[in-house]
Structures are given as structure tokens and as C-alpha cells.
Structure 1
Amino acid sequence: MISDNIEKIKSEIPDHVTLVAVTKYHSTEDTKAVLDAGVYDLGESKVQDFLRKYEEIGNGPRWHFIGHLQKNKVKYLIGKTFLIHSVDSIELLNVIEKESEKQDTVTSVLLQLNLAREDTKSGILREDLEAVLKELPKYKYIKVKGLMAIGPLTQNNEEIRNIFVELKKIYDKIKEKFSDEVIQMTYLSMGMTDDYTIAIKEGSNMIRIGRKIFM
């Protein structure tokens, strides 16, 4: 069933779009079934669950941390993740830099934006982004590889589309203006089970899907 669901999703998305299978809440057995189906980008949102699966499965997959990240848990992710999607503050960046320096490794991250201004979601607000970007050149152990956002919780597709359109514009502007050793706009991570088709149309090249894989 998992392999069938993955094949259906793959048939619907362009080759340039990376499918991150959101394996949070699912067993190691089901996670291995995702790998067997040919998807090697796995998304986890709780550090404890991630560490358990990392120990059981290893570093063969490309592990993505997509949940809200507490600063005191950063040290457990360094050197193990392909991407941390949910970087939402300068304070968190500072901790990632410090812990990465300790392990002498470079950590790749995405900046999470909260363009819908939803209180239930983390993320950098539009008006605070410039200040964050100005801080980035000082980091030696972090690469900012793109942006991430969660679509607004609504049934209104136009509201969802507007947020994705805005995020793509910001992504393109940063890519044009800021690209350097630290800032490398490679991934635009937007779109989940309910809205990934909209996200892809508006420029997403990385989607995070869980429910549709395991349904």
C-alpha cells in the first residue's frame, strides 16, 4: 500500500521536485517500507523519534528535521541531518552555529517563514526577515539552503496560493540579492498532502507528504 501510494504521488510531481516522506508518528517498519519504495528523503518532527529511527536505520536516508526545534535539542541533530527545515530565529541559528562548530561540521538549514501570521505556527515574520538575512554572513558552520513555509489552515485555495506566491517572490529576491557562501537558495520547501499541487504550480521544488503516503 505504501509503495502504491508513493508511485501515485511520484506520477503527479515533476522530476525536479523532491518528495520528503514525513515519517513522523510512523513505525520503523513503515519507514523502511518508504525506503524500499525508493524514497530516501525522510522527514521527522520530534528529536526523540528521530534519534530512535536514526539508530535503527542509520545514515543511509537523507534525514530532514521538519518540526519546531527547541534550542536545547539542537546538539542531537548536528551531523545527522541533511536539512533542518524549521529555523525560525537568530537565536536558533546561533545555537546551530555553536553546536556545529563543536563538531566541526557544516549544517544545512532552511529558514521557516510565517507569512500567514498564524499564532499556531512558528516562523519568521515578513518584516523580521531582513534583520535575519543581515546576520547570516557571520556564520561559518551554517549553510542556508532555502526557505520553508506551511500553508495556511484553510479550505480557501486562493488564500493558500497567495502565501505560496509570496514565498516564491521572497525566495527569488533573496537568490538574486544575497546568494554567497552562506546563503544558497536551492530548496523552496512548501506543500503538504492537502496543498502540494498548488505549491508545485507556484514554484515549490520540495514537498513534505505524510498522510497521503500512509493512508
Structure 2
Amino acid sequence: MLKDNLKNVEERVQEACDRAGRKREEVTLIAVSKTKPIEMLQEIYDENIRDFGENKVQELCDKIEKMPKDIKWHMIGHLQRNKVKYIVGQVALIHSVDSYRLAEEINIQAKKKNIIVPILVEVNIAHEESKFGISEEDAIQLVEEIAELENVRIKGLMTIAPYVENAEDNRLYFRKIKDLSVDIAAKNIDNVSMEILSMGMTGDYEVAIEEGATMVRVGTGIFGARNYNKQ
């Protein structure tokens, strides 16, 4: 079943790329594996998926230990400063940086390991009170502040769009994130690139791709509905 789910998602990603006149390799599909058992991750890994996303540090660390070493792990959930030390150097990308203090802690831990850590700045584009992320209005200032940190590199932006019945309702938000990334890129800030736009989930990733997403985070579409009872 997972293989069929993945095939369906891959086909829809390709179709969205075609509609937008984009190449398929411009979009990275991240399999969001939170709450899912290792067996399911392994099944998707065996279908040549190498990018996996997790929300919780403990679960992420457990899975890193048990899964093959060539996986690129993405931290996509809210990250507390006291947990940063566990994932710096372990993940390919931290998507959810929404404050200078968090970036500063990542920088401290990166210096200890003598590495450069790539991050995305999370923007709460729809101003939802229930979600983390910096406001669109404050994003450029935050990017400029984080850019001063020696061992952190901003690679782009991330957003979690509202939950909607109709994916078209989120097109405006994806477009706003794309526009914001263009504005930031135009400032030519040292240590900052806007090559990554992490946006779009199971319900709206096709629209996100049409609006410029370079990473889409698909969980339910691949693994099926989440089972939180096992937590």
C-alpha cells in the first residue's frame, strides 16, 4: 500500500511540475515520518526516498540510530533551544527557525562541532495564532540578524499554510512566501541564499509546487493517517 501511495504522490508531483514548466529535480519530496514505525520508513526508503522529516527531537534521534546512514533528515517541527545540541550535525536541514535566540543556540552548538548548519527561517504567513513562525513583516530583519552568525547559513524559507478543504485557498500564501524570498534575495545579504522554499503538505503540495516550492513535506499522502495513540 505504501508503495502505491508513494507512486501516486510522485505522479502528482510530476504533474504539478509539468503544469508549472518546472523540472522534476527542482522539487525534493520529504517523507514526513512522524509517529510512524521504522518498518514503514524502511519500506519507503527501499523505494529510493532519502529525505525524511520529523517533528520531535527524541523520535528523530531514535530513528537516526536505526535507519540507514545515507538518509537526509529534516527537522520540521518546533525546536526548543535546550534540544538543539541533540540534532546539530545529525540533520541535513533545520526548517523551523523562527527566532534569533534559537539561531544563536544553533550557532553555539555548531561552533562546538566546528560545522556549518543550514537552516530555513519559518514564516507564519497566514498569521495563525496556533502556529509558530515569524511574521512576514519581521522576516527580513530576522534574516539580517541571523546572517551575522558565523556557523549558521540561511538557505531559504519555510511555512506551514492553514489547513484548508480546498488547496486553492492556500495559493495566495505560497505566492506571498515566494515573493518574500525574492525580496530577501534581492538584498544580497552575506551568508543568505533563498534557494529553498519548504512549503506544501499532503493537502496542498501541488499548488505549492506551482507557486515555487522546492521542498514539499508529505506525510499522510505517503504513510496514511497518523496514529497518535502510540506516543
Does residue 153 of the first structure (1) align with residue 163 of the second (2)?
A: yes
d(CA) in 1 for partners of 2:95, 2:146:
16
Q: Mapping of 1:15-94 within 5 angstroms?
A: 15=24, 16-94=26-104
Q: How many residues align?
A: 214
Give 1:8's aligned amino acid.
N
Deviations, residues 63-88 of structure 1 (Å, cap 9, x unaligned):
00000000000000010100000001
| Counterpart position of 1:214 | 223
Answer with 53-62 or 109-118: which moved more.
53-62
Q: Given that residues 59 and 80 in structure 1 are in contact (C-alpha distance below 8 angstroms), is that contact kept between their aligned partners in structure 2?
A: no
d(CA) in 1 for partners of 2:66, 2:166:
41
TM-score, normalised with respect to structure 1: 0.95
Answer with 23-32 or 136-145: which moved more.
136-145
Distance verdict in 2 for CA 1:156–1:12, change over 3 Å? closer
Q: Given that residues 179 and 185 in structure 1 are in contact (C-alpha distance below 8 angstroms), is that contact kept between their aligned partners in structure 2?
A: no
* Shift, 1:159, TM fit: 3.5
d(CA) in 2 for partners of 1:158, 1:203:
14
Q: Mapping of 1:108-123 within 5 angstroms?
A: 108-123=118-133
* Shift, 1:179, TM fit: 4.7
Unaligned runs of 5+ in 1: none
* Shift, 1:10, TM fit: 1.2
d(CA) in 2 for partners of 1:170, 1:176:
10
1:134 to 115, 123, 144: 144
d(CA) in 1 for partners of 2:39, 2:167:
35
Answer with 128-137 or 138-147: which moved more.
128-137
2:108 to 98, 108, 112: 98
Q: Which runs of 4+ in 1 moved over 6 A?
A: none
Distance verdict in 2 for CA 1:34–1:156, change over 3 Å? closer
Does residue 10 of the first structure (1) align with residue 18 of the second (2)?
A: no
Answer with 135-144 or 188-197: which moved more.
135-144
Unaligned runs of 5+ in 2: 18-23, 225-231
* Shift, 1:155, TM fit: 2.7
TM-score, normalised with respect to structure 2: 0.89
Amino-acid identity (%): 39
Deviations, residues 48-67 of structure 1 (Å, cap 9, x unaligned):
00010011114310000000
Deviations, residues 180-212 of structure 1 (Å, cap 9, x unaligned):
3x1121110100000111111111111000001
SS of 2:77's equivalent in the other structure is: coil
Q: Given that residues 85 and 110 in structure 1 are in contact (C-alpha distance below 8 angstroms), is that contact kept between their aligned partners in structure 2?
A: yes
